[in-house]
Structure 1
Amino acid sequence: MSRLYDTHCHLDFQAFDDDREQVLENAKEVGLGRFMVPGVSAEQWPRLQQLVEQFASWRFALGLHPWFIEKHSLNQIDELEQALDKPKERLLAVGEIGLDATCENSELQRKLFIEQLKLARQYRLPAIIHHRKTLETTHPLVKQHGPDSGVIHAFSGSYEQAMKFVDCGYKLGVGGVITYTRAKKTREAIAKVPVSALVLETDSPDMPVCGYQGQRNEPARIAKVLDVLVELRDMSKESLSDTLWQNSCELFSDVPSASSGHVSG
C-alpha cells in the first residue's frame, strides 16, 4: 500500500470530537501514516498540543490564521516566539499563516504575516501559508521575509504563479480543488510544475473533494485527490506516491522511519 502524508488537516477541530479515532482508522486504511495539523489561534494552541501527545502520527505547527483575525494581536507574536524557543517534539513548522482578502483588518493581517514569516526564518522552520485572492501580494512578502522552505496551502492559481513560489523553494499543497474539472487553470498548473514541488493535503474538515460537497471532509479522501493527480501527471500511482511521501518528509524535515514509514496512532 502507498505511504501517504496529509500535509494539512485540522484534526483538532471540534468537527472531529465525536469520532476522531475512527477518522484516523479510515485514513490508515488508505495508506495515510502521517498528518500535519496546523495551529490557527493562540487560544487553540494548548488543545492542539494536548491532542498531538495522544497521536504518534500527528505532527503540528503553530500560527495565527487570518480567518481568526479578531482573536489575534501583535502581542501574540511574543507568545509564538516563546513557544518556538522551547522546541517540542513534532513541532515542525510555523502555520497556518497568511493573507485573506475576504477577511477584515488587512493591515493587521499583513503585520502578523510578516512577523510570523520572520520567526519561521529565524527558527529555520518551513511556513504553512494560507492565501485567498492574495497570491500576488503574498509572494513578495515570502521572498523578502520568509524562510527558505514552506508550502502554499491549497494552491489555486496559474502555472506562472506557481513557479514564483517553487523558485523560492516552496512546495504546493494539492487538495480537493483538482478533483473539480472546472478548476482548469489550477489543474493545468499542477500537471506542469516539477513533481518535486508537490505535496498532498485535505484541509479537513474543509475543502471537500468532488462528489462530497456539503459533507465534512476527512483525511481518507486524500486517496481521491491522489487518483486525480495520477491522471494529471501521467505517472504510476506507486511512483507518484513515493515521490509525494519524500517531498512531504523533506518539507518538514520529518525523517522517514527505517521500515514502512508508517506511524501508529
Structure 2
Amino acid sequence: MRLIDTHCHLDAPEFDADRDVVVARAEAAGVRAQVVPAIALSNFQAIRALCAAHAGLYAAYGLHPMFVAEHRPEHLDALRAWIERERPVAVGECGLDFFVEGLDAQAQRWHFVRQLELAREFELPVIVHARRAVDEVIATIRRVGGLRGVVHSWSGSEEQARQLWKLGFLLGLGGPVTHERARRLRRLAASMPLEFLLLETDSPDQPLADHRGERNEPARLREVLDTIAALRGESADAVARATTANAERLFGLPSTAA
C-alpha cells in the first residue's frame, strides 16, 4: 500500500530526538511521501534541509496566519525568491484563522491574498488553513481566481465543501475524522467524491482517537485511511489508490508506484 501524508510538520521540535526513526516508521507503514509545509520565513531553511536529507519529503513554503505577528511585508519578497529558486510543490501553509484570539485579521487577509497571487503567478497549488474562516477563505479564493489546492484539516460544512470542489480545491482529512464525536466530518468522509479527498496527519498535532494526548506522526496515516474506508464501506486499498493519485496530481509528485 502506498500512501501520501499531504500535511506533516516534520520539522517541528517535537521530532528533534527521533526524526529519522519517525521517517523510517512512516515508510514501514506505507507512507511513501510527505508534504512538509512551512509556517514562517524562519523555518524555510530547516524544511529545505530536511527534504534534501530524506527521499520522499517535499517542501512547501508559506506564511501561516497563526504566526502573523512574525511576518513582515519583506517576507513576501523572500517567499517569492524561495519559490523561484527552490520550486516547491506548493505555496503554504497560508490562510485565515479567526479562532485564536489576538491575531490581526487585516494582516492575515493581506498576507493570504498576496500568497494566493504568488501561487497563481507560479502556477502552484496552495495549502490553506481555514479555522472559523471558511466562508471568507472561499470568497477570497474565488475573488483571486485561477487557483487550485487543498484546504487542510477540513472542518466546514458539506455545502462549503461543494463550493470548494467547484473551485478545483480538495479537502485534507486527518486525525479528527477518527473521533466518533466528529459526526459532521465523518458524514462528509463517508459520502464525498473520492476525487476531492486527501489524507493527512498534521503531525505532530491532531492526535487520533486511539492516541489522545500523544504526539502524532505520519505512520498513523494508515489509521486515518482505515477509518475513512470503514466509513465509506470501501476497501482501504481503493481509498489509498485514489487519494495517492489525487496527491500526486495536485502537487506534481512522482508516482509512488515507480
TM-score normalised by the shorter chain: which range applies?
over 0.9
Q: Distance in 2 between matches of 1:122 and 1:234?
A: 40
Q: Distance in 2 between matches of 1:138 and 1:157?
A: 11
CA contact (8 A) 2:9 2:37 kept: yes
Corresponding letter in the other structure for 1:129: V
TM-score by length of 2: 0.96
Structure 2: stretches of 5+ with no match in the other structure: none
CA contact (8 A) 1:69 1:109 kept: yes
Q: How does 1:181-192 map to 2 (within 5 A)?
A: 181-192=180-191
Deviation at 1:147, TM superposition (A): 4.3
Give a deviation string over 1:20-42, Cα, whole Å, max 9, x none. Answer: 01111111111010000001000
**Structure 1 ranges of 4+ moved more than 3 A:** none
Deviation at 1:230, TM superposition (A): 0.4
Aligned to 2:31: 32
**2:98 equivalent to 1:98:** no
Q: How does 1:97-246 map to 2 (within 5 A)?
A: 97-103=94-100, 104-246=103-245
Q: Distance in 2 between matches of 1:94 and 1:176?
A: 23
Counting matched residue pairs gives: 256
Q: Distance in 1 between matches of 2:145 and 2:120?
A: 6
Q: Distance in 1 between matches of 2:126 and 2:117?
A: 10
CA contact (8 A) 1:129 1:151 kept: yes
Deviation at 1:83, TM superposition (A): 1.3
TM-score by length of 1: 0.94
Give a deviation string over 1:69-93, Cα, whole Å, max 9, x none. Answer: 11101221111111112244xx100
Judge which range, 9-18 or 234-243, deviates more: 234-243
Percent pairwise identity: 37
Q: Distance in 1 between matches of 2:12 and 2:183?
A: 31
Judge which range, 10-19 or 146-155, deviates more: 146-155
- The RMSD of aligned alpha carbons is 1.1
Q: How does 1:244-259 map to 2 (within 5 A)?
A: 244-256=243-255
Which has the larger helix fraction? 2
